[in-house]
Structure 1
């Protein structure tokens, strides 16, 4: 066992979670992508953006999305600054997509709980 519990989410877009629609407003799309990352991390048992240590953003229009991405960084991660790579791309998975967010997060508490469970299981086997 590695002692780490990590979450890796490639390709989180700014689609509305209920309708699947992507807003035609690029700022709203960026905001929704960051919200979707938060939701996915929490759904997996993590604590959200506070555990993220690496981010890659892909954008079809860096000038239009950069400032909004920075604003979301400040909103979701006011106490830490993970490594961030910003990549300009010609196209994303859907014609209506302008931004996609990829993250990696570390959950130390989850790792400690997993380690304790493994040690308890090993002790039972002996």
Structure 2
């Protein structure tokens, strides 16, 4: 079984600086790194609601970097990390309903003290299946 690593446009600098990839494909399974609320230039936006929305969009970009057919419809497991769960949980649930209206992936949600990039308030990582 082979392993391939993938990044999407705008994440190459962070990938090199921190020595990691946005997604990895192992067989027909794809796992993403934690995706945050950064814009196309890689800057974390200050607004929490927008951060959550961008994190969901960045998950999709990471999936599509592996296989253009992948999307949130392929996701079966989600882990989210929050600086303040009380402030961000509703936004995450709102985006779950928007991005996975017909599917309910398994979900682990954790509140932590700090995330890896300054200003980031939410980070989302997923596992997805490439169906043959």
- Name the SS for the 1:11 alignment partner: coil
The alignment status of 1:31 with 2:28, answered yes or no, reads no
Match of 1:40 among 62, 73, 92: 62
Partner of 2:37: 14
What's the C-alpha RMSD, in Å, of the aligned pairs? Answer: 1.1
- Name the SS for the 1:86 alignment partner: strand
Partner of 2:4: none
Shift of 1:9: 0.6
Q: Unaligned regions of 5+ residues in structure 2, if any?
A: 2-26
Partner deviation per Cα, 1:77-98 (whole Å, 9 max, x = no partner): 0010000011000000022000
Shift of 1:10: 2.3
Q: Unaligned regions of 5+ residues in structure 1, if any?
A: 110-126
Cα distance in 1 between the residues matched to 2:117 and 2:83: 11
Runs of 4+ in 1 over 3 A off after TM superposition: none
> Scaled by the length of structure 2, what TM-score is found?
0.77
Shift of 1:12: 1.1
Which structure shows the bigger proportion of residues in helix conformation? 1
Between Structure 1 and Structure 2, whose CA radius of gyration is higher? 1
